[in-house]
């Protein structure tokens, strides 16, 4: 098989890139190691920036997003038994949208199937070849049969554990990493949201986050230990612990119910530089990871895909490699802004086991400053709604 761009991974990065390339008349094939159902079963991101909404509109998936997405004009930060609202609309003129990654993925899959562009699910043993030549190849096995795709470019959209980044020789890439000494236990339940807006909680028992997917479905997280197992957290224990971390008004508003999904995610910051090797371009989690505290992972994937789709369109229109050559630097400039913000939100809101009394006092002083200072709130709001690109 021959195509212009071979895309590895059918997560949000790969599917969005595929759609934007299709819109520009650029042929592409997506190879995904899992089944479509498995990809749709992963409960992850919930919150998207206006820039991401704009890209999804361009990708042709506007209708359901605008019908079902919940526009949020602020968030609340809870500490010391009270809540401080951060008013995004007043401080930045912008808002964010609650629309689950599962829904985005489903919409993009459906839009792709109407274009007839191929997505090869359950493609095993995907391997990349000749990526420093002008004729790279991708090999894979599907239904027991070995096959090969010849292409002009490869987009590595295969997430943090994918193969694309790993094929880059160590001497050609530098990585930066921070692993946090805790995880997030996440629960999805068909119960009404605790509040109309997201509540981010700093509490001496640990961080908590009350989010949602709809007016009838909650997405809730609590900070947990790295060694905790799902079995340690039956539903009753989860609800009890969440209540202990909330202020009394929020705790009283909780409606409990059975969990539909429960998972533990470790927290990590990670950046690979450059995001390119020869004709292989990395995008999304394949190149960088942020802790979920700033809700930036999916949004960064979208901005990478924007830069990459523009650069590929320019190449096919003009034969100029100028934007392809600056792709990594442009993407990384925005990535590092989001890395800093996500690290800062994580530091501000979690209980770090190694913290001394001094560290805890400084954390509280920063929260109090945030509650008092409009410039401090503006800095948070500007980053949270998404920096321009």
Residues that bind ligand PHB (CB under 6 A): 45-47, 198, 211, 219, 292-293, 295
Q: Taking the complex as a whole, how short is the minimal distance between the CB of residue 66 and ligand RFL, in angstroms?
A: 19
Q: Which of 203, 288, 296, 350 is catalytic?
A: 296
Q: What are phi and psi of 304, to 5 degrees?
A: -55, -50
159 binds, among ligand PHB, ligand RFL, none (CB under 5 to 8 A by kind): ligand RFL
User: Which C-beta is closer to ligand PHB: that of 46 or that of 74?
Assistant: 46
> b/e per residue, 178-211, with b = 16+ CB within 10 A?
eebebbbbbbbbebbbbbebbbbbbbeebbbbbb
Question: Within positions 254 to 293, which residues make up the interface with ligand RFL, using CB under 6 A?
Answer: 265, 284-285, 292
CA gap 65, 102 in Å, rounded: 12
Q: Is 307 a catalytic residue?
A: no
262 interface partner picked from ligand RFL, ligand PHB, none, CB below 5 to 8 A per type:
none
Contact, 213 vs 104, CB < 8 A? no
Tokens 């986050």 — which residue? 209
Which one of ligand PHB, ligand RFL, none is in contact with 10 (Cβ closer than 5 to 8 A by kind)?
Answer: ligand RFL
DSSP for residue 270: E
Task: Tell me if 32 contacts ligand RFL by CB under 6 A.
Answer: yes
CA distances from 135 to 3, 188, 308 (A): 11, 45, 19
| Residue 157 near ligand RFL by CB under 6 A | yes
Structure tokens at 175: 């990585």
**168-207 mask for ligand RFL (x: CB under 6 A)?**
----------------x-x---------------------
d(CA 151, CA 149): 6
**Catalytic annotation present for 296:** yes
Q: Which residues contact 187 (CB under 8 A, 6 or more apart)?
A: 218, 219, 220, 221, 235, 238, 259, 261, 262
Using CB distances below 5 to 8 A depending on partner kind, what does residue 195 bind out of ligand PHB, ligand RFL, none? Answer: none
Which 3 state secondary structure label does DSSP give 344?
helix
Q: Which stretch binds ligand RFL (CB under 6 A): 43-51, 71-79, 230-238, 322-330?
A: 43-51
> Structure tokens of 234?
């039956």
> Helix or strand or coil: residue 365?
helix
Take residue 150 and report the two structure tokens written for it: 């010849």
- Among 33, 78, 195, 223, which residue interacts with ligand RFL (rule: CB under 6 A)? 33
Query: Buried b / exposed e across 65-79, counting CB within 10 Å, b at 16+?
Result: beeebbebbbbbbbb
- The distance of closest approach from Cβ of residue 288 to ligand RFL in the complex, given in angstroms and rounded to an integer, is 9
Cβ proximity to ligand PHB: between 9 and 297 the closer is 297
Catalytic residue (choose from 292, 306, 350, 389): 292
Asked whether the beta carbons of 247 and 283 are under 8 A apart, the reply is: no
What DSSP character marks residue 69? P
**Would you call 384 a catalytic residue per the annotation?**
yes
Q: Which does 293 bind (CB under 5 to 8 A by kind): ligand PHB, ligand RFL, none?
A: ligand PHB
Q: Which does 291 bind (CB under 5 to 8 A by kind): ligand PHB, ligand RFL, none?
A: none
Bond preceding residue 97 cis, omega within 30 of 0: no
Give the contact letters, 46-75, x = binds to ligand RFL (CB under 6 A), - = no: xx----------------------------
Judge contact between 72 and 46, C-beta under 8 A.
no
38 is catalytic: no
| Site map (CB under 6 A) of ligand RFL, residues 110-139, x = contact | -------------x--x-------------
Does 176 participate in catalysis according to the annotation?
Answer: no
- In whole angstroms, the minimum distance from the beta carbon of 116 to ligand PHB comes to 32
Residues near ligand RFL, by CB under 6 A: 8-14, 31-34, 39, 44-47, 101, 123, 126, 157-159, 162-163, 184, 186, 265, 284-285, 292, 295-299, 301
Catalytic residues: 72, 200, 292, 296, 384
């Amino acid at each position: 098989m021959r195509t212009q761009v071979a895309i590895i991974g059918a997560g949000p990065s790969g599917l969005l890139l595929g759609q934007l390339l299709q819109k520009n008349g650029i042929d592409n094939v997506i190879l995904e190691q899992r089944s479509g159902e498995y990809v749709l079963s992963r409960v992850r991101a919930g919150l998207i920036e206006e820039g991401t909404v704009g890209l999804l509109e361009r990708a042709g998936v506007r209708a359901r997003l605008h019908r079902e997405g919940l526009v949020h004009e602020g968030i609340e930060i809870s500490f010391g038994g009270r809540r401080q609202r951060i008013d995004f609309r007043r401080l930045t003129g912008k808002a964010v949208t609650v629309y689950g990654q599962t829904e985005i993925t489903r919409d993009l899959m459906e839009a792709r199937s109407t274009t007839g562009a191929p997505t090869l699910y359950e493609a095993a043993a995907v391997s990349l070849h000749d990526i420093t030549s002008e004729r790279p190849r991708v090999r894979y096995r599907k239904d027991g049969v070995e096959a090969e795709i010849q292409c002009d470019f490869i987009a590595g959209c295969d997430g943090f554990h994918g193969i694309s980044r790993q094929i880059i020789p160590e001497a050609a890439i530098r990585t930066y990493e921070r692993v946090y000494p805790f995880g997030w236990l996440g629960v999805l339940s068909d119960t009404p949201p605790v509040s109309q807006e997201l509540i981010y909680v700093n509490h001496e028992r640990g961080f908590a986050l009350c989010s949602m997917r709809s007016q009838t479905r909650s997405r809730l997280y609590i900070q947990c230990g790295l060694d905790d197992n799902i079995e340690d957290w039956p539903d009753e224990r989860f609800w009890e612990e969440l209540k202990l971390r909330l202020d009394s008004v929020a705790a009283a508003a909780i409606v409990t119910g059975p969990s539909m999904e429960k998972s533990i995610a470790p927290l990590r910051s990670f950046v690979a530089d450059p995001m390119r090797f020869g004709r292989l371009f990395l995008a999304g989690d394949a190149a960088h990871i942020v802790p979920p505290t700033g809700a930036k992972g999916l949004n960064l994937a979208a901005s990478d895909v924007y830069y990459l789709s523009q650069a590929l369109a320019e190449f096919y229109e003009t034969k100029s490699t100028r934007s392809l050559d600056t792709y990594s630097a442009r993407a990384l400039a925005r990535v590092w802004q989001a890395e800093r913000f996500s690290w800062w939100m994580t530091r501000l809101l979690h209980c770090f086991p190694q913290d001394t009394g001094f560290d805890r006092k400084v954390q509280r002083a920063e929260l109090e400053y945030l509650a008092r200072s409009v410039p401090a709130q503006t800095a948070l709001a500007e980053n949270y709604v998404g920096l321009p690109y």
